[in-house]
Amino acid sequence: MSLSTKEKILKEASTLFSQLGYKATSVRKIASKVGIRESALYNHFKNKEEIFLTIADEIFATSVELDREKIQEEAKRGKPFLARFATTYKLVTFDKNSEKMFRLLLIELFTNEALRKKFIQEFHDKNIKLLSEAFFIMMQEGLIRSNDPMLVAYEFLSSLFYIRFHITLLRIDSESTSHLSTQMEKHVDFFWEGIKVQ
């Protein structure tokens, strides 16, 4: 299946951003890589920042995209829901293209207000909301001990994020990450043992 022009723009821009950085990547360079005129690129995106923020959306996307009904259904299974969430998170973490963009996004978060807002909305808020709902259902089902579901969500997600961050730091220096390849699964096991009803 061939990519649309918009998809090609995002693909080439992602590569250029991860190779050159945000500032050194121009709309002209992106258009040239795609094989279109700079003016044609503006039919799809209003500027470079919009392209960057669209790519960021994909990187920050909620790990497990489920509608409310699906969350209720899957959360009743307890630990398998958490394992699925962590596995999806892991796949994104070990994806080379996502990893390069994640590294760039971490740098840009300090200087780009629109990106910070997107990170909070698209990554933090959506994941915490999804996990809070799931943990609340697990509490109602008697699978885990009663607690503040939002706090439990923070605790679960923060370790996954830290593992991802650790992997990114090691890769910057071309160090092995193989010892971390099972950390997310171990986190699920450890976390579940701490919250489940005994």
| Low pLDDT (below 50) residues in the chain | none
User: What is the distance between the alpha carbons of residues 4 and 2, in angstroms, rounded to a whole number?
Assistant: 7
CB 177 within 8 A of CB 163: no
C-alpha distances (whole Å) from 46 to each of 52, 59, 135 are 11, 20, 40
Distance CA 7, CA 21 (A): 20
> Please, is 29 exposed, middle or buried when counting C-beta atoms within 10 Å of its C-beta (0-12, 13-18, 19+)?
middle
Q: What is the pLDDT of residue 136?
A: 96
Q: How far apart are CA 107 and CA 94, in angstroms?
A: 19
Structural domains of the chain ordered from first start: 5-46 (1.10.10.60), 55-195 (1.10.357)
| Model pLDDT, residue 66 | 62
pTM (global) more than 0.85: no
Distance CA 28, CA 30 (A): 5
Residue 1: predicted pLDDT: 62
Predicted confidence at residue 58, as pLDDT, reads 76
DSSP sequence for the chain: -PPPHHHHHHHHHHHHHHHH-TTT--HHHHHHHHTS-HHHHTTT-SSHHHHHHHHHHHHHS-SS---HHHHHHHHTT-HHHHHHHHHHHHHHHT-HHHHHHHHHHHHHTTT-HHHHHHIIIIIIIHHHHHHHHHHHHHHHTTSB----HHHHHHHHHHHHHHHHHHHHHHHHTT---GGGTTHHHHHHHHHHHHHB--
The C-alpha atoms of residue 144 and residue 187 are separated, in whole angstroms, by 16
For 144, phi and psi rounded to 5 degrees? -130, 160
pLDDT score, position 62: 52
Residue pointed to by tokens 């690129």? 41
